[in-house]
Structure 1
Amino acid sequence: MAAFLENITPFIGNGTVNENGEDLETFLDHYNADKYKKPSVTADILVFSYCGTLTKKLDGLKLLMIKRRNHPCIGMWALPGGFANMQEDLIESARRELEEETSLTDVPMEQLFTYGEYKRDPRDRVVTTAYIALIEEGTKKAQAGDDAAEAVWWDVSFQLRKERQFQEKEREVKEEIYQIILTDQNTMECISAVVAKYENTSGVLKNTRFQMIETNGIAFDHPRFIVQGLLYLLERI
């Protein structure tokens, strides 16, 4: 099998052969990339917009969502995103999918988190990386395309409903329960979700994780992404 990359020079190592007497070029000729099943890789994008000065109250914050035209989660609202092409950097996948589904271009974004639970998607073993963007309201006009039936800016309501601490395997864990309510001001439709955040209270590494408790109208496990994205913004305001 031919090498995936045209230029293999940076991967020659010290130039010796392996235990089978193969140099890198010969090894790649014999390498079977289809020997093992591989997960699919996707990128999803949280695009928030703000009006005026963004404060920790998050007044005026909106989130761009698309209505899914096809299965799975047909008719539900999701973050724009989709599958990465083979010869495409993941950030480029995010930019391409955002443009295809919402017409938005030239949007600066940062990588937020990678979600890899195997039960995320019924189509395949899907690993996704979420990106986050923040733009000023009115600077970008969204228009649905590709497999998005609609593209809508939703008003964001974000509340901490409950918090507590408990013991788990000799560790003190903090639990925070968040509720998100998204409202389309044109139709007054509301979609919502409840997400739990768990974090160790001591140690350098906090083992932070997010768990979806319930969702009403928001597709997949995207409520987790939204809550994590909102907390990410709050840390930086």
Structure 2
Amino acid sequence: MNEDVETADAENPSAYPPSIQAGIPKLGLTPKGWTRFPLGDLLRKVERPAKLVDDETYQLVTAKRSRGGIVARETLSGNQIRTKTQFYVEAGDFLISNRQISHGACGIVPAILNRAVVSNEYTAFHTSDALDPRFLNTLSHSVYFQQTCFHSSVGVHVEKLVFRLENWLDWEFDIPPLQSETQTHDGADVLDQIGRGKIAHLFVSLHGDPSSKSNLNIRAGVDRIAALRPKALPALKISFFDAASAKVWG
């Protein structure tokens, strides 16, 4: 991290917008059965140069801040695109905006945007066999992931940070066995389960250990509250809920 940014972080952490997680990234003990990897062992950069043709039409995309995903931007003909260095992205790519990744601008390219184009200000990745891309998408919602993005950036102003990809790939991450990853189905389902787990834990703390009857009450309460939660979830400390013992750990 740039020294000026570190000083600002220490003196006034509230100066950062909600899209940034400026805390120091710290891993605890690796959970049993999980493996700690440098991120560079899990991600492989993918480049598909696009040779623009003036009279052909191209779909542009953008990565929204705060983990808002990859969305359509505009459709332009080749002669309307100012930046001529463009790359194709494909469905399933994990795409980051190098300019905005500190603000959580990343996500999985959806099928509807297959073969859209991006400039060299974006980086697309495939995952290794040890990492399900859907789990990576979930992981990007964690505070730790976002902190590593911020601390791999340099600059004085939060809107003008320069992301250093090679530094970011040196950070270590704890990854569960692949079977556990694939059981998540997709990131949205996992985040919903996490949110429900935290809500259920709150119910249990208020009403005591659940009996069979109170379990039904807890589930009904969780469903009602979860339905009120916004779809755009804030940064989460990923935890896992044990419904039998009503404990949250992570």
- Given the two structures, how large is their TM-score scaled by the length of structure 2? 0.20
The structure with higher relative contact order (CA 8 Å, sep 6+) is 2
Is the helix fraction higher in 1 or 2? 2
The structure that has the greater radius of gyration is: 1
More strand by share: 1
What is the TM-score when the length of structure 1 is the normalising length?
Answer: 0.21
